[in-house]
């Protein structure tokens, strides 16, 4: 598996309030201190109300940072589908496990069949 190099914008799980500023700082690769200063400064200069409203909207729209780093494109696809629609992601997982279960049952039925030649297979 290869490490993904592209960054995505996520809410940080260890930020102070919803993790929006820390997530933006991580995405832009700047200090979280300066993002917070810019947020407070913008709030003071715009009359306090617009920035907290935008901050809450950003917190609702930004996906939370994955608990574990995403190692592949499949991991990223599953995480994005899960954060977008959990029921759709769960149906996808159920379908995958149902397919695996069917394959295992087919293998078991072949191996446990009466006419399976164990002696010939073991002596090869």
pLDDT digits (tens, 9 = 90+) for 60-85: 988 888 777 778 888 777 777 777 77
Please give the pLDDT value at position 77.
77
Bridge partner list, 64: 11
Asked whether residue 4 carries a pLDDT value surpassing 60, the answer given is: no
Asked whether residue 37 carries a pLDDT value surpassing 90, the answer given is: yes
Please give the pLDDT value at position 73.
80
What are the structure tokens assigned to 44, written together?
Answer: 């003071």
Please, what sign has the CA dihedral across residues 6, 10, 12, 13?
Answer: negative
Please give the pLDDT value at position 36.
93
pLDDT higher at 5 or 30: 30
Question: What is the mean pLDDT of the segment spanning 4-20?
Answer: 79
Q: d(Cα 124, Cα 120) in Å, to the nearest integer?
A: 6
């Amino acid at each position: 598996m290869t490490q993904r190099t592209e960054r995505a914008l996520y809410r940080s799980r260890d930020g102070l309030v919803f993790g929006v500023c820390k997530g933006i700082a991580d995405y832009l690769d700047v200090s979280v201190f300066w993002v917070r200063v810019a947020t407070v400064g913008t709030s003071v200069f715009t009359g306090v109300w617009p920035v907290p409203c935008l901050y809450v909207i950003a917190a609702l729209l930004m996906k939370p940072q994955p608990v574990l780093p995403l190692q592949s494109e499949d991991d990223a696809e599953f995480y994005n589908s899960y954060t977008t629609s959990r029921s759709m992601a769960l149906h996808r997982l159920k379908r995958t496990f149902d397919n695996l279960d069917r394959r295992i049952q087919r293998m078991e039925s072949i191996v446990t069949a009466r006419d399976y030649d164990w002696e010939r297979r073991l002596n090869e």
